[in-house]
Chain A
Amino acid sequence: MPDNFSGKVAVIQFPGVNCESETVRAVRAAGLESGIFRWNMPPRLLGEALAVILPGGFSYQDRIRAGVVAAKDTIMDKLSDFARDGKPVLGICNGAQVLVEAGFIPGMHWEKIDLALAPNVMSDREGYYCNWVHIRVEGNNCLWMNKYKEGDIIPVPVAHAEGRFVTNDKDIINDIRKNNQIVLRYCTESGDLDSSFPVNPNGSVENAAGICNPQGNVLAMMPHPERASWLRQVPEDISGKWKAKRRNACCRPEKMEEEGPGLAFFASLVKEMVG
């Protein structure tokens, strides 16, 4: 575990998260140095990091409400300064829940709670849902997505029980829409928006799968790009344009190690930082 995060991507490990190692591997595969930053390490070290990722899992066992206890942690004071300085912050799944409960997302009123990631609403079930879905790239105002093009369709897994972006304030949704902050939307394999389950796996407002702050440096996304960073992670029966790539890689180990559909989130950071 590195003690020095200068020039590295810090992946914060709160008690109970479980995707920190996969996330570090995905960042390294994209070409940046990365390490796990335990939540109780000296907060000043976080200031030296190049970027910060809050990975998926169950911080504090999802006690009270997913993400809310981590959102009150001391380390979040430093992360708040970090994000306000315009440095890159990504929250994946539970990390997204932490960013929403901390008021970093949608971020028009910094640290004010304008959104929730509420329990999934699904037509024939309740609780936890885990499956591959398709998401569509909307706009290009988020630095975590500058390797994608508008309209790109990305197959990626979701695995959560509380992933429904929701607000009780219509003005907030209008503002988010106006600012083009919904940068990822659940869609069909051909890119059509369909608000019904399972295309929209949790009933999220506006089919939102990822929302960034107005400056575009902080992104909260429910799907797991680190679980779609190599072709070997993509299921054989995936539909859409990744189907042929995955089929061609079958029984060819060297091909299976090629880039998967989610790696470009981390590669976007390289493009942003290194050019």
Chain B
Amino acid sequence: MKARAKLWVKLKVTDLVVETAWLTLTEKLEFGDILYGLAKYSCWFMTCEGSDSESIINALDRVISLDSAFTNQNKHKYSLIVEGENRSSGEDGKEGVLRRGDLQPEKDFLFRVEVGSAELYVCDCLVSELESDKDKSYADRLNGRLDGVFVSEMRAGLVWRMIVRADSKDDAAEKVQKMAVTRSRREGLLLNPHYQEFEIISTLNLSERSRV
């Protein structure tokens, strides 16, 4: 069977890259009235082939939890999720979803300023390198060691989670793009479009759920 796997990894301690990005965006680039929260995850999105979801997640978990190319138990927490195709119920009640690890990215919202009544969106932005062979190298690294499981597709990158004040989903996407993509010395920070690409992989309107 085929299954999709997602691995999200985050530092257990303060991420100084995020702190620097936060200060640069809010103080130097003056996005302080738009940006309400910022976090960063190392992410791997995979398509795997194996006998069933259970064996896929167990094989992946065995390797990634001990391989410092993915996680270091001393400093990272992680979330490994496998979504199988032919499974009626998963461990967390959501159909076909299995999970391992001590990180829950779907609940990981850190507000750095008072929220008040602002309309807020959480945008997850995947930044990855153009024309890089890193994806293949990660897949090869896993395929040499996974027992009975084959990783057929791999996409690796950084996910920046940006909590922004916006009027709509489109407005949120526009603001996130302005903050992320470096167009000039005074515009954008998180990626250089000459060798990196950017995709908003999810947008969540926080007013539609209870705020943490």
Contacts and interface: CB of A to CB of B under 8 A. Distances in A.
Contacts of A80: 185
- Interface centre among B129, B185, B195, by most chain A C-beta atoms within 10 angstroms, is B185
B28 interface: yes
A243 interface: no
Contact of A102 (B20, B29, B185, B194): B185
A115 B195 CA distance: 9
A103 B185 contact: yes
Contact of A101 (B20, B28, B130, B192): B192
B195 A71 contact: no
Nearest to A115: B194
Interface residues of A, number: 29
Contacts of B132: 119
A148 B16 CA distance: 43
A114 B194 CA distance: 8
Contacts of A119: 129, 132, 195
Interface residues of B, number: 24
Nearest to A112: B184
Chain B contact residues: helix, strand, loop or mixed:
loop
Interface in B131-164: 132
Nearest to B182: A113
A68 B16 CA distance: 15
Interface string B28-60: 110000000000000000000000000000000
B20 A111 contact: no
B194 A64 contact: no
A63 B196 CA distance: 16
A68 B189 contact: yes
A18 interface: no
Contacts of B16: 61, 63
Given A115-B194, A116-B194, A64 B129 contact: no
Contacts of A167: 194
B186 interface: yes
A159 to B, nearest CB: 20
A166 interface: yes
B130 A168 contact: yes
B184 A72 contact: no
Interface string A122-165: 00000000000000000000000000000000000000000010
Interface string A234-273: 0000000000000000000000000000000000000000
A69 interface: yes
Nearest to A169: B194
- Interface centre among B24, B129, B191, by most chain A C-beta atoms within 10 angstroms, is B24
Given A63-B20, A116-B194, A119-B132, 19 more contacts: A61-B16, A63-B21, A64-B20, A64-B21, A65-B192, A72-B24, A72-B29, A73-B28, A76-B185, A80-B185, A101-B185, A111-B185, A116-B192, A116-B196, A118-B194, A119-B129, A168-B130, A168-B193, A168-B194
Going nearest first, the 7 A-B pairs with the smallest beta carbon separation are A116-B194, A118-B195, A116-B192, A111-B185, A63-B20, A72-B28, A63-B17
29 contacts: A61-B16, A63-B16, A64-B20, A64-B21, A64-B189, A64-B190, A65-B191, A68-B182, A68-B189, A69-B20, A72-B24, A72-B28, A72-B185, A72-B186, A72-B189, A74-B28, A76-B185, A80-B185, A101-B192, A103-B184, A103-B185, A113-B184, A113-B185, A113-B193, A113-B194, A116-B196, A119-B132, A164-B195, A167-B194
